[in-house]
Amino acid sequence: MGIIAPRGTKDIFPEDTVKWQYLENLTKKIFSSYNYKEIRTPIFEETALFQRGIGETTDIVEKEMYTFEDKGGRSITLRPEGTASVVRAFLENKIYGQAQPTKYFYIGSMFRYERPQAGRYREFHQLGAEVLGADNPAIDAEIISLGIHLLEELGLKDLELHLNSVGCPKCRKVYREKLMEYFKPYLEDLCSDCQDRYERNPLRILDCKADRDKEFMSTAPKIYEELCEECETHFANVKKHLDLLGIDYILDANLVRGLDYYTKTAFEVIYKGLGAQDTIFGGGRYDGLAQEVGGKDIPGIGFAMGMERILLTIEEQGIELPIDDSIDLFITTIGERAEEEAFKYLAKLRKADLKVEMDYLGRSVKSQMKTADRNNANYSIILGEDELDKGVATIRNMKSGEQVEIKLENLVEEMTKRID
């Protein structure tokens, strides 16, 4: 075989692209009803942005970044996620000088050097939303409800919202010590990764796949029981606002997320039917990220969804998206003169916003009819010498079989009437 696509990447062909487009269009529609506007940031950034933003001790920064030196000797990284870039763009362009909050959404490719498996790729796509400049708990509930709204509108079922508060640096410091104290007698029982995490990032022990079912995990101190007063009040208000919207959640003290920038609210929406990679979206508050990246104290919250995982869930749950990939008319021709006439009609019909196609390969009438079927044509006409001489043609409704003779000069008008 010749050259093949890099491991962990995928080509998307038209029969699937229509699903992606459907998802993207629905996202734009729903997100705009919550007044989120689209932002597009570069696909690569200065490496330091992610090192500082996501955190030096995270798996993403330690193992998974596509980092290279460009020809100018700069260290560049393909974005592994969107939040750090959005915050950088917000700060760099002084958007904080405008009326706040600022609500953005984005759709695009992200890159992580992970071991590919079902639902996990090296180039994957996220759609995400971020709110900057507001720390009101109502915004936390809004962002969660926005994500769930989109998934429900797609028809997804059996979703679980897991909710936690990871506190602020103040209460996390106290909690961290408490946690280290708790795990100390079990150090030997932890997996080797977690023994390593013990000093550097003990909270990550809580969501370790290898250790999470061990007995001592269930009695570990819960962060949401150790919050400072401010974080506790905030968390209570987030829960109150979710209740106001009738959104159910599962309190999950082991939800710590894989990125270091989170403060207070953290959440994930899970569909268990997906197997090992079952998180459809994750997010939370990141009130310290702007400070880390640009020295400004600006609160933020957001989420990102794996688009491949949404589409996998749609497939898994047998949901038929209302996608129409039909064409309006297929013109079958007999002979060279008909082909030339049809070619002119095609141009006129397309300019009238109709979706039309014909055969260019000089095939038999029978195989042209098959092509019309393959293209999901709603109507077809046959043009031959007879039709051209008489100036008439028969429009056939491919579904009902109904046929109507029309004057050829009225073809555009007649077709427009049928499609509207």
**Binding residues for ligand HAM (CB under 6 A):** 81-83, 112, 114, 119-121, 124, 126, 128, 130, 258-259, 279-284, 286, 302-306, 308-309
Pick the closer one to ligand HAM by CB: 83 or 165. Answer: 83
Amino acid sitting at position 407? K
Amino acid sitting at position 263? T
Q: How far is the C-alpha of 324 from the C-alpha of 326, rounded, in Å?
A: 6
Count of Cβ atoms closer than 10 Å to residue 200 Cβ:
9
Helix (H, G, I), strand (E, B) or coil at 106: strand
Pick the closer one to ligand HAM by CB: 132 or 369. Answer: 132
Q: Please report how close the Cβ of residue 211 comes to ligand HAM at its closest, in angstroms.
A: 19
Q: Please report how close the Cβ of residue 311 comes to ligand HAM at its closest, in angstroms.
A: 11
Pick the closer one to ligand HAM by CB: 202 or 300. Answer: 300
Does residue 114 come out as left (phi exceeding 0), alpha (psi in the -120 to 50 range) or beta?
Answer: beta
Q: Please report how close the Cβ of residue 230 comes to ligand HAM at its closest, in angstroms.
A: 20
Residue 350 dihedral angles phi and psi, to the nearest 5°: -65, -35
Pick the closer one to ligand HAM by CB: 277 or 371. Answer: 277
Q: Which residue is nearest to ligand HAM (CB)?
A: 306
Token representation of residue 405: 């003779």
Q: How far is the C-alpha of 165 from the C-alpha of 292, rounded, in Å?
A: 20
Residue 312 dihedral angles phi and psi, to the nearest 5°: -65, -40
Q: Please report how close the Cβ of residue 51 comes to ligand HAM at its closest, in angstroms.
A: 15
Pick the closer one to ligand HAM by CB: 133 or 282. Answer: 282
The pairing of strands 356-358 and 327-333 is parallel
Q: Please report how close the Cβ of residue 190 comes to ligand HAM at its closest, in angstroms.
A: 23
Token representation of residue 377: 């044509």
Q: Please report how close the Cβ of residue 68 comes to ligand HAM at its closest, in angstroms.
A: 19
Pick the closer one to ligand HAM by CB: 202 or 302. Answer: 302
Q: Please report how close the Cβ of residue 140 comes to ligand HAM at its closest, in angstroms.
A: 11
Pick the closer one to ligand HAM by CB: 235 or 281. Answer: 281
Assess contact for 330 and 356: CB atoms under 8 A. yes
Pick the closer one to ligand HAM by CB: 55 or 306. Answer: 306
Q: How far is the C-alpha of 276 from the C-alpha of 273, rounded, in Å?
A: 9
Pick the closer one to ligand HAM by CB: 277 or 416. Answer: 277
Pick the closer one to ligand HAM by CB: 310 or 377. Answer: 310
Amino acid sitting at position 99? A
Buried b (16+ CB within 10 A) or exposed e, 13-50: eeeeeebbebbeeebeebbeebebeebebeebbebebb
- What is the Cα 195 distance to its own chain's centre? 34
- Enumerate residues 6+ apart whose C-beta is below 8 A from 356: 327, 328, 329, 330, 331, 346, 349, 350
Residues pairing with 261 in the sheet: none
Q: Please report how close the Cβ of residue 286 comes to ligand HAM at its closest, in angstroms.
A: 6
Q: Please report how close the Cβ of residue 139 comes to ligand HAM at its closest, in angstroms.
A: 12
Helix (H, G, I), strand (E, B) or coil at 77: strand
* Helices and strands (H, E) in the chain, number of each type: 15, 16
Q: Please report how close the Cβ of residue 275 comes to ligand HAM at its closest, in angstroms.
A: 13
Pick the closer one to ligand HAM by CB: 259 or 342. Answer: 259
Q: Please report how close the Cβ of residue 305 comes to ligand HAM at its closest, in angstroms.
A: 6
Q: How far is the C-alpha of 131 from the C-alpha of 146, rounded, in Å?
A: 12
| Residue 15: half-sphere exposure toward Cβ, Cα within 13 Å | 3
Q: Which residue has the tokens 């270091």?
A: 260
- Sequence length of the chain is 420
